[in-house]
Every structure is written in C-alpha cells, then in structure tokens.
Structure 1
Amino acid sequence: LRDVPTPFVAVAPGAKWPTKRWRPEAFAKVIEKLVDRGCGVVLVGEEGEEEFSDEVRRLAGRDVPSLVGKTDLPTLAGVLSLASALLGNDSGPVHLANAVGTPAVAIFGPTHPKLGFYPLEGRALTADLPCSPCSLHGEGPCRRGGRMCMHEVTPDEVLGALEEFLFK
C-alpha cells in the first residue's frame, strides 16, 4: 500500500451471490474516474473472487493493485482501516469497513440495507423499484429477469457518494 496514492478507495467488487454483484463495467467506470482524479484504488475481496475482480481491472484499463484472495480477515480489516472509503456490494467487506470506522458506499439490489450492521457508516445506494428488495440474502434468481435493481444504480451516483468522503 506504500505506493498507492492517497486518498485511496478499497473496492470490493465481489459478493457471495452473483445476483448481489454490480456490473463489472460499472465498477470499472468508477475506478477509471477515481484514478484519473488522482485517487488511489486497491481491489479487495476473498479467494474465489479473482476472476470477477480481474475482469473489473481489465475493463478499467488502469493499473490498480489487487489484494483479492491475498488477505486474511485481520489483514483486510487493517487495509480497510487505512482506506478513505470502501466501495462494494452488500458483502462482508462493507460490514468490516463499518466495524473499523471506514465509510462504505454500498450497492444494494435484492437485499435491504438495514439487514446487517446498521446504521451503515457511509451510504447505501439502491434502485427505487417495487420489486426490491426481493430476498433476505440475495441467493435466488431475479424473478423479473435482468437484475434491474443492480443495473439502475449508476457510476455517477456512486462517484457522487464517494466524493462525500474523499474530496471534502
């Protein structure tokens, strides 16, 4: 992390259930804009999320370090405690960031932001759809098809939320 510009955002693009993952191209757009503004970005996540995270990195077209699958829980907590913010889906890193006092911008689709560690230190972004939330943990298929709850949250909304914590 010594070579990562500050402020830096930890980005956790993974989630246990694919239905809870924001689109890789949307994560990539946010990363691209953050890096272009001089902000550092570090990808984080657990073992098994490398392929999805690598796709995000490739689409971003920026050389950002990845710690995906390379940290244990205490090390991840340490990384998150140094970050200015975390960007992620409804997933473990969001809750861990909250536990260490790092604001999280979390994208919720099939699940509800008030389930888990509430109140969230940061911002929960959701699409205002009548079908969302539709699941307790996000494990089922989208009943309407297309996962609109995850597609309607835009990179610009996410950037606006992150700016609250990065560029005060």
Structure 2
Amino acid sequence: MESSRPKKKRKNKEHITPGNGDRHEKSEQELNGTMKEGPRQNIWNSKRLSTNTKVRIFNTNVKTVLLYGAETWTTTKAIIQKIQVFVNSRLRKIHRIGWPDTINNNVLWERTNQIPVEEEIRKKRGKWIGHTLRKAPNCVTRQSLTWNPQGQRRRGRTKNTLRREIEIDMRKMNKN
C-alpha cells in the first residue's frame, strides 16, 4: 500500500570529492553563501564585538571546518569558486556591506587580512607534502604520492589526481 503522505523532496546537494575518495556533501545554500546561521547569526550582527574579533571567530570556527582536509582534495575551478563566494559573502556580512555599497574582493581581503581560498589550499598542500615526505618510505601516505596504478586508462579526459595537483602546484611555485 502506498502512504497518503507526500514524498519529501531532497535538497540539491553538491558533492565535493577530495582526492582520497571521500565525499563531502555541502548543501547548495551553504555553498552559495545563503546559509542561515540560526543562533550564531547574532554574532555577525552584534555591535558589541569588533570586526577583528568577528573575523577571528570566522577564521577559527567557520573557515577551518570549511577547508578541513583541503590539502588532499583534487580541486576544480567550480569548487574553488563556490567556496570563495561563500567566504566572501560571510566577510561582507561581517563588515555589513550590503547591496548598494559594493566593494572589490581584493579590498575586502585587505581589510580582513585574508588570502584567496585557492592560495590558502595551495599553502596547506605544500605543508602536507613536506610533512608526508618526512615520513618513513614504507608509510602508506608517502607511498600514495608515487603510486602508479596498472592497467588501461578509461576513455575520455583523464581525472585530475592528487599527484597531478601537486605537480601543478610545484610548477606554479617555480615560476614565482
């Protein structure tokens, strides 16, 4: 028998798959930066707290959770852009910058002493590589950097792997 209750419609989820195969589900609202923060919303609107304190709270409580494990993600431009939009919208909310008052992202980052998310992930990845290369040669994480799967590759464009991400980062570092 079918129940008379209407079926619940699932929210659209964006799956962010880091390099280790885990899937992180972030709701579309969260990635677009329109997430309602419930009781914590008062922190961002509070006049008792200074903007510097709000930015520090944001960095420690929101940004760290958002970028947890980002050093092992195989990032795409779309993922980076969605995360950057979320971060920028929160920083604008902290500074109370609404629609008629617009501000350039670079000026916003200067005011809040932030760097772009892509650069932050690249720095985290560099630290992680240094940490991993100091491990013993028989350690699984160290072996994963040089692992080469055998067999034929699938049709189509090759998947971006952690190894390729690291090579791209190294090339960018050598150019600078």
Q: Indicate whether the TM-score tops 0.5.
A: no
Of structures 1 and 2, the larger Rg is shown by: 2
